[in-house]
Chains A and B, each alone.
Chain A
């Protein structure tokens, strides 16, 4: 645990991304691969299950320090952080904790399934074993509230620096559900792909919002346009007998969509398809809310599949019979896609190109996209490769909503009137340069009554800090916000504020990695 603690201290002090990259690379070089693997996982947002809730932890701190409950609570309010409060109040110092991977795998993870009294005993025992300087990190593992100010890009670059591999290769290997282990860490930095996981997805190529009309894109004949479907982005993967469906949030979701899995297995050859899963009713897209009902269930019962049918609208082909096609131009990939889907059932179908030769014609199509149940059009350069991440220039989304952003819920407070007492007033943030969260918008709930109640309950259990009625909550849930524009602001730390923000939807399919960056918003500010 000692190495991990000193890494946290170094990161805490490091100024600038370069310093953080160096500190991390140095740490990876000195650490056992099993421990390094957990460091990577924790930095990427993985958290071992929360073992005790805030109230019980406070109770244990009181018991262990001999202080009354009210005083522990006051100290918590003063320090603002429960993990730190515990670290400062607990007496004495123990002989030290085992290395990170052993602590998590052999002690913390098994503990999560034990009865409460046993968990409490175990936490007390861990506290007395920990050295004073290990307690803060230990408590962070117990409470799950990490905010280390290190972005995914920083971790990737540190791994690249440490291993001498290209950053894209590391990004690719980290895509999907990366599970920490010594083998996984070795594979992450290995020179050759040794037996790659057949179910692994590629990093998604993400479109950027088109800042103004398409006129600036030049000759329309260099561009291809498709509907922007109102569903969730996904990759369908079939490789040598393995089939998988990945959401953009890095989650495997094939059990939720058995009909897509069957259609994928019926394809004439192995392939990796990129597209959108959309709820479908008779001959047109159904609402996103309908799709949410399919997403909420880990396994989709047959009844639900029949009630809410879905389709996969494929718009790209990343791999065909084991050959990576991503560096080929888009129109070549699309012809290959059409060949593969030629005989496919309707359940997996191609997302057709829109027919236009002038921007005016496309603009007119976009204007009536509500009639087609879609949310705008996508514009893709015909010769573009399939890049990774959000790279501006080749792929644009031109939505009916003027602008949207995927933001994380950071603060919540109770509303007034009919919803008094429920947390309905939310503050959302995006990712800053250092990986920190920057608040950019406040919006009242645009959620359904059920969602509000569910979210309220979750927020109360995951409050990190309270400032009067305002709760700072664990950054966890991602929401899609619509807004009219962006204005510079000196009152916001981000230096800008969204104009007329509103909640479009609760994106349970996205995790924190999908949250937009401040740079994406700044790019809009310039226009």
Chain B
């Protein structure tokens, strides 16, 4: 143990003797570790965010639609476009199912709209949905001011609207939006409620840029979509699988699918969105590891180079140490420890930079970031691994020097 501490002390000493050169040498290792940690911090941050942000739906809710679940891969949109629409009648039929508590039948022309008052207009466009009252439960809407749509609003086709917080901010910067008039495609609606702010998806896409209208009024003002989104809320979170079974069976029957035919609709829960993200995260992780392996390789070669230079410069010193009784294994250990210390130092600097960068990005731009301990351990371990691997050859060269020859070198 004394031996190791002495060796370590010697290593630190030589690093201190040449701080700038040591630092430059470490650049590869620093970049490698910084990349690992930064990428992992961002991915981990995303993961945490995704789990909460992608909870677009209520706890026990799932969505049934003609389109495949939101994903990150390529989708054959033409094939899905040919599917028959989900009708209002099919949606209504789901209400009777034993494990279904709510069915939110949503009119959405998938066409962002501009909402205006006499003075202002929303600049980023807004998603406008024609809804039934179940929309509130299916989409986990919390009302901030006023109220949500009522059965009467829907039945009478009242021109009323519940707006998201972004819309309220844009149109009524002075506040007090309730009772005010907004226009969608020139048709006036009265604001009866403002939803509590829900934030954004991964700091990018706001979840508060929407307006919900009674579907009856929606169809008058914006036109009648053929297709619908169905937000289904099960009787409890545990009942979701049963509710899905019932819904799938009912829809297959209503849509006249033959027993072995594929479903001509899709459904997804919050969980399935998260799983899609996990796949993406793994992909990003693999790509990052590739980049880092490359950076560590470059860094390792840098370490090897500097250690070879160091052995040459310190040939005399090596000779003296041998003359004083250092065994060859001791010289080997000294240089290996030096290389590992050097690269570990680079790893630490890299981790600090990477974590600092990720957290800075979080603070400045709001990108989610969280530094996982395992990423720190991974970078430090791989940095010292690179030092060990690439430090062995120079160290072996040092240990094989002839003491008399070495001392003659100046």
Chain A complexes with chain B: no
State the B residues within 8 Å of A (CB).
Answer: none
